[in-house]
Structure 1
């Protein structure tokens, strides 16, 4: 029995020390998040990059005179996943629209019934058939008297202007302007 009494005497002070140590830790309050390793900080530019080791979120933190401010860095993976989701929704919508248009087209009456028996003409067959030289006659209509008078009037005016221009040039050369 003696051993039981000596061990119980020893167990009391050990339990008391353990309780005091635990209560001291509890009274001290929770440790700040940076002390338990939740955030990892790395210098970057005029601030720091903060990595949340629990969630994987990355933030940029800068000191703007009024204090430190942290802003989340856009996650490329999240942006890519949302873009993939949007594209998949678009593909589904387009496939449904394609099926709808196919069924509409199938329900319409055909515009041509049956197969066309004769093939389409070749480009050479659309040319007019060759005619013998003796059969070809080209008729050019002659101008009327009125058309001839208009042409003569135009030529006379052009000739007068040309003569006037030559006379002016001759006068400028003789007077020394040119």
Structure 2
């Protein structure tokens, strides 16, 4: 058991030494031709690894099972991919728009004797305008009928009574609890 632990520690030390040695060479500016594909830099509790040939960046950490490197997501590549998709969509939409314009131009006019002036717009849901007296520019507003006034007064009276009843109930509840 102790030999397994000591060999694991020794392996970790060797990997760390190699990583740190690689960092020293990378900082010293070792040329690519002399085994300098990866540039290592200490970062937090691990190491950043730069592949000098491809430009890929990875983070390497020592977990309980040993060293593991994971690629850092490349935002630039994702952005370039999104731009490519958007450009393809724009091209497709422009081609579709041109096709629709050509189809529309190829159609025969459906209305014979078309006039150049636009037709007046009318809205069937629009309420009629208030009546304007002939010769005058005054707007006549119809007054509510007696029946409308009675309905309004009975509504207000019922609302007032309910408000008074509610105030009385609240007062009784408060007096009963004190």
Query: TM-score if structure 2 supplies the norm length?
Result: 0.46
Which of the pair has more CA radius of gyration?
1
